[in-house]
Amino acid sequence: MDQVTGEIVTFYEQRYDEAARLDRRPQCRLERIRTLELLRELLPAAPARVLDVGGGPGAYARELLTDGYQVRLVDLVPLHVKQAREGQPPIDAVVGDARELPEADGSQDATLLLGPLYHLQERGDRVRALREAIRVTRPGGPIAAAVISRFAGPIDFVASARFDERMVAESRRLLTDGVNDGSTGFTQAYFHRVAELTAECREAGLVDVVIHGVEGRGGRRPRRRSTGRTPRRSSRRRCRWRGSTVPSPISSRPAGICWRSAPRRSGEGEPQR
């Protein structure tokens, strides 16, 4: 395990309770509602086989199980896998890396990457993860990947009243290269622009990528200071990411879900829904 991977595992096992995240704040509950809406709209009909890569403790996998899907979860963090297995209903879960999935070629009807891409800081690793998703998904099967906006950090610094000189400097750096500084509260991560995401998907072998917004303007609201005052912000700071034709500013965590079918072999028809 390399140093960056080790830091991510440590963050989720010792510093952050991912199992409670989607219930913690209104914007997180919005993320859950919108993501499930998209999955239920775009996945093939149950009982299709769905691989949830980076699925954490299984929040979405458990919902899909309840909907009648056959779900297998792969996550980098052993604690998450343990939580997924021990929850109700229990999930078939294994420890694994999105860049080298422990699954057979074409074994899944659909593959989700709702966590890995924003934890892979190198473009080559992100493309490799997308290619692995293609490999394990039957030709024509859908692949969904979530990313975080390049603007998510600066917006959060403002909303949480942390926009001091240090965070101004960090925001400038983050907007330039997209690499998150783990000392700012979140772990090792990469924040995307729209053009980067679509380019990485195409490099991996996906075409006609569709981007869906998740949280939009509801993704952030100012958090109250200890004084009880709410920091001011301009409504112009946020922009909903609806599709690949929208300019680079995007928002929320995750900022959007990229959805595309795995390439079909020559002579194959359209995938069934």
CATH classification at residue 63: 3.40.50.150
Q: Is residue 271 part of a domain?
A: no
Q: Is residue 267 part of a domain?
A: no
pLDDT of residue 132: 98
**Residue whose pair of structure tokens reads 């390439």 in the numeric block:** 263
Q: Is residue 232 part of a domain?
A: yes
Q: Is residue 270 part of a domain?
A: no
pLDDT tens, residue by residue, 61-93: 999 999 999 999 999 999 999 999 999 999 999
pLDDT tens, residue by residue, 8-48: 999 999 999 999 999 888 888 999 999 999 999 999 999 99
pLDDT of residue 260: 63
- Say how many domains are in the chain: 1
Residues 161-185 have a mean pLDDT of: 77
- 179: which strand partners? 190
150, 248 in Cβ contact below 8 A?
A: yes
pLDDT of residue 210: 87
d(CA 203, CA 109) in angstroms, rounded, equals 22
Q: Is residue 273 part of a domain?
A: no
pLDDT of residue 216: 60
Print the domain residue range for 135. 3-261
pLDDT band at 113 (very low <50, low <70, confident <90, very high): very high
Q: Is residue 154 part of a domain?
A: yes
- Overall pTM surpassing 0.85 (yes/no): no
Kindly report the backbone phi and psi dihedral angles of residue 59, in degrees, each rounded to the nearest multiple of 5, phi listed first: -55, -50
Q: Is residue 94 part of a domain?
A: yes
Lowest mean pLDDT among 54-63, 148-157, 193-202: 148-157
Lowest mean pLDDT among 84-98, 158-172, 224-238: 224-238
- Tell whether the model's pLDDT for residue 143 goes beyond 60: yes
Q: Is residue 269 part of a domain?
A: no
